[in-house]
Amino acid sequence: MSRVEDTTGREALLKAAGVKSGRVLDIGMGGCACMALYLARKGYDVTGIDRSSHAIHRARENAKGKRLRGEFTARRADATNLPFESDTFDVVISFHSLHHIDRPIAALREMFRVCRPGGKVLISDLNPTGVKLYKHKHDAARLLALVEREARRLGAAVKIADTRLDRLFVCAKR
Ligand SMILES: C[S@@+](CC[C@H](N)C(=O)[O-])C[C@H]1O[C@@H](n2cnc3c(N)ncnc32)[C@H](O)[C@@H]1O
């Protein structure tokens, strides 16, 4: 049986969020679509977007043969200009993708726009320890501070937690 392993804190993010079901958007899902397929296996209906057509192709291939209890849709889109109506999703997630996006705060604003009031915007991104381990070059402390400031500016109730490698933001949209 094929499996989607939880090796990088996916469960930690879900637990911190306390969400159990709903319509989910995963931005920058990547070709492995690890978070998106993990959620679809658990029964969430997931739309994953990525700006790379190669990633979309690989994500669809990866979904084949997986025992998904929820629906999974892969769609090419730019996280900074999402092709969805406002207030559409119950949960909007960025899992290890914000630091890959050229304009992360523009993407964060879009995540909040398409999340319904009362829904959750969930972000997991590398903390300074994670950056070292994954040999990334960006300034994690700066990005994480910007994310927190913008989420609060947008009026969200923000809970923050750390795993060994990640900073988790659980934001409730008012
Ligand atoms: C490290 S992967 C994300 C990993 C994935 N979320 C997971 O669950 O493991 C980062 C992805 O972000 C995508 N990306 C970068 N900029 C983007 C943008 N502006 N809009 C959408 N996707 C973007 C890249 O194409 C890449 O596939």
Query: Could you read off the pLDDT of 39-85 as tens digits, one per residue?
Result: 999 999 999 999 999 999 999 999 998 999 999 999 999 999 999 99
Q: Which of 5, 32, 38, 50 to mutate to test the pocket of ligand 1 (most atoms within 8 A of CB)?
A: 50
pLDDT (tens digit, 9 = 90+) per residue, 6-34? 556 898 888 888 888 899 999 999 999 99
141 Cβ closer than 6 Å to some ligand 1 atom: no
Q: What whole-number percentage of the chain has pLDDT above 70?
A: 95
Whole-angstrom Cα distance, residue 135 to residue 46? 30
Whole-angstrom Cα distance, residue 5 to residue 38? 8
Whole-angstrom Cα distance, residue 52 to residue 57? 9
- Does residue 122 fall inside a structural domain? yes
Q: Which amino acid is at 13?
A: L
For the chain, counts of helices (H) and of strands (E): 6, 7
Burial label for 107, CB within 10 Å (0-12, 13-18, 19+), is buried
Give the list of residues 6+ apart from residue 18 with CB closer than 8 angstroms, or none. 170
The residue nearest atom 27 of ligand 1, judged by CA position, is 30
What pTM was computed for the model? 0.95
Ligand 1 centre from 111 Cα, in Å? 14
- Does residue 3 fall inside a structural domain? no
- Does residue 1 fall inside a structural domain? no
The residue nearest atom 6 of ligand 1, judged by CA position, is 29
pLDDT (tens digit, 9 = 90+) per residue, 136-149? 889 999 999 999 99
Q: Does residue 1 surpass a pLDDT of 70? A: no
**Ligand 1 atom closest to Cα of residue 31:** 27
As for how many domains the chain has, the answer is 1
CATH classification at residue 114: 3.40.50.150
What is the Rg, in whole angstroms, of the alpha carbon atoms belonging to the chain? 15
Q: Which two tokens stand for residue 112?
A: 């909040």
Ligand 1 centre from 136 Cα, in Å? 14
**Ligand 1 atom closest to Cα of residue 103:** 19
- The pLDDT score that the predictor gives to residue 3 is 43
User: Could you list the residue range(s) of the whole structural domain that residue 66 is in?
Assistant: 10-172
